[in-house]
Amino acid sequence: MPPDSMRGLASILNTPPEPVPRVHPGATPIRVLLAEDDRELRRLLATALRRDGYEVLEAHDAKHLLELMGEALVSGNGAPVDVVVSDIRMPGASGLDLLAGLRRDDWTTPVVLITAFGDPETHAEAYRLGADAVLDKPLDVDDLRIVVQTLVSMRG
pLDDT value at position 152? 93
Residue 132 in this model has a pLDDT that exceeds 50: yes
Confidence of residue 156 (pLDDT cuts 50, 70, 90): low
pLDDT value at position 14? 43
Residue 79 in this model has a pLDDT that exceeds 60: no
Task: Specify the higher pLDDT residue, 149 or 27.
Answer: 149
Partners of 84 in beta bridges: 33, 111
pTM, two decimals, is 0.80
Nearest to 83, CA basis, from 37, 126, 115, 35: 35
Residue 135 in this model has a pLDDT that exceeds 80: yes
Residues 6+ apart with CB under 8 A from 99: 86, 111, 113, 126, 129, 130, 131
Question: What is the rounded CA–CA span in Å between residue 93 and residue 14?
Answer: 40
SS3 110: coil
Residue 40 in this model has a pLDDT that exceeds 50: yes
Domains of the chain: 29-155 (3.40.50.2300)
Confidence of residue 23 (pLDDT cuts 50, 70, 90): low
Question: What is the rounded CA–CA span in Å between residue 33 and residue 116?
Answer: 19
